[in-house]
Amino acid sequence: MKVIFVVCDGLGDRPIKQLKNLTPLEAAKTPNLDKLAKNGINGLLHTIDHGIRPGSDVSHLSLFGYDTKIHYKGRGMYEALGLGMKMNKGDIAFRCNLATVKSDLTILDRRAGRIESCEPFIKELNGALINGVRFAVKAGVMHRAAIVMSGYNLSYKVSDADPHEVNTKVKKVMPLDNSKEAQFTADVLNRFIEFAHIKLKQNPLNKERSKKKLSEANYLLLRGAGYVEEVQSFFDKYKLSACCIAGAPLYKGIAKALGMDIIDIKGATGTLQTDLEAKFTAAKTALKRYDFVFVHIKATDSCGEDGNFTEKKKFIEKIDKAIKTISNLDDALIVVTADHSSPCALKAHSADPVPIVMSGEGVRVDGVIKFGERACANGGLSHIVGLNVMPEIMNLLGKTQLYGD
């Protein structure tokens, strides 16, 4: 038996008055997910633990069985890897937004008017050398980019330059511990950010944007310092060959960091328009070559963070339709879950547990007939935590080592 592991980002939600006090998942028509629930074993999942509100990075590490208390060293590395950047031991990575600031460094727009691509703005920053530290800069989707610092004596214990809100001044990067390395890294970063600001202001594209009354893309808002940690690969840990089908860079980056192969799908964009049919068809094909296929779907989270419950419900129905491609496979264990809840009412991640279903040969089918936050609470898995997921899967695959004798 092989595994398709589907993570619908931020799927979990809370009851919404306009949906008759149902969650978007409960309100959506999901015959295929419900069938998986009916033929499977269900439960509620706390990806880190009860009451912990997790970011997408730690929750995915935890789902794959990596204890984040030991292995999590910041998000930057995953973003950089996900954009195809190379990282070496000792490197420090960040994600960043290309933003708009006034001359006094007050932030006007954290996304520089959601520019189509930051590539033409940042290309001249790539390769900058400051105090012996080399900066690699690569564009992501729209206003997003990643930055990798390479040099000696760097530390990831530095604060964000991004205050995460507008109409406030950008922050100086500060060391987060008393080490010389953190002080040095913060100094070099502040010099780099200043250098980038000057270069960006001088960029002819910004002069054009200014004429057109568009927000200038004139500042790098860095956040999420992370350093490279070598961990035991997913294959070495479980003896399962694994691949990842995802749109957004973070998830590809996490998969890459764990040694999974990345299958790039045309039309997998991580947005509402993503081609889910193509992703699930690719997943089905990938089963021939891999033991474990990780499919990541992003837009459920984006809807939650936008507070758009109508769109979230609609997108869940789109997932349900597309998942039919894999939901009737023999010889496959289908696992569908989420990395965290993103309640529309909060427009943010929350610690509410998420539903999980495992459907395949040998599972103790329970009485749950609907895939939803509250229905799954009565499932045979009861409440589990993220680090339980892979052991449960390995048990169903019959690949668990005996403990004791």
> Residues in contact with its own copies, total (CB under 8 A)?
58
Residue 55 φ then ψ, to 5°:
-75, 165
* Of 56 and 337, CB closest to its own copies: 56
* Of 13 and 216, CB closest to its own copies: 13
121 sits in the region (left: phi over 0; alpha: psi -120 to 50; else beta) called alpha
Q: Does 373 bind its own copies (CB under 8 A)?
A: yes
Residue 131 φ then ψ, to 5°:
50, 40
Residue 119 φ then ψ, to 5°:
-50, -55
* Of 128 and 345, CB closest to its own copies: 345
Q: Give min distance, CB of 31 to its own copies, in A.
A: 22
Q: Does 74 bind its own copies (CB under 8 A)?
A: yes
Distance, in Å, from the CA atom of 321 to the CA atom of 11, rounded to the nearest integer, reads 16
Distance, in Å, from the CA atom of 186 to the CA atom of 73, rounded to the nearest integer, reads 17
Q: Are 79 and 180 in contact (CB under 8 A)?
A: no
Distance, in Å, from the CA atom of 405 to the CA atom of 403, rounded to the nearest integer, reads 7
Residue 134 φ then ψ, to 5°:
-95, 135
In terms of Cα–Cα distance, which of 97, 250, 83, 104 is closest to 163?
97
* Of 91 and 392, CB closest to its own copies: 392
In terms of Cα–Cα distance, which of 287, 229, 234 is closest to 263?
287
- Residue 278, number of CB atoms within 10 A of its CB: 16
* Of 51 and 132, CB closest to its own copies: 51
Q: Does 330 bind its own copies (CB under 8 A)?
A: no
Residue selected from 322, 349, 356, 359 as contacting its own copies according to rule CB under 8 A:
349
Q: Give min distance, CB of 366 to its own copies, in A.
A: 6
* Of 132 and 362, CB closest to its own copies: 362
Q: Does 100 bind its own copies (CB under 8 A)?
A: no
Q: Is 335 helix (H, G, I), strand (E, B) or coil?
A: strand
Site mask for its own copies (CB under 8 A), range 350-369, x = bound: xxx---------xxxxxx--
In terms of Cα–Cα distance, which of 75, 73, 88, 222 is closest to 147?
222
Structural tokens at position 114: 């959601």
Residues within window 172-211 making contact with its own copies, judged by CB under 8 A = none
Q: Give min distance, CB of 292 to its own copies, in A.
A: 16
Residue 80 φ then ψ, to 5°:
-65, -50
Q: Give the binding range for its own copies (CB under 8 A) out of 71-79, 116-124, 175-183, 270-278.
A: 71-79
Q: Are 231 and 71 in contact (CB under 8 A)?
A: yes
Residue selected from 1, 14, 163, 174 as contacting its own copies according to rule CB under 8 A:
14
Q: Give the binding range for its own copies (CB under 8 A) out of 29-37, 83-91, 296-304, 375-383.
A: 375-383
Residues within window 40-59 making contact with its own copies, judged by CB under 8 A = 44, 48-59
* Of 53 and 284, CB closest to its own copies: 53
In terms of Cα–Cα distance, which of 264, 227, 231, 291 is closest to 93?
227
Q: Give min distance, CB of 131 to its own copies, in A.
A: 27
By CB neighbour count within 10 A (0-12 exposed, 13-18 middle, 19+ buried), where does 17 fall?
Answer: exposed
Q: Give the binding range for its own copies (CB under 8 A) out of 132-140, 270-278, 302-310, 370-378.
A: 370-378
Q: Give min distance, CB of 310 to its own copies, in A.
A: 19
* Of 189 and 381, CB closest to its own copies: 381
Residues found near its own copies in the complex (CB under 8 A) = 14-15, 21, 23, 44, 48-59, 68, 72, 74-75, 223-224, 343, 345-346, 348-352, 362-367, 373-374, 377-378, 380, 382-384, 388, 390-392, 394-395, 398, 400-405
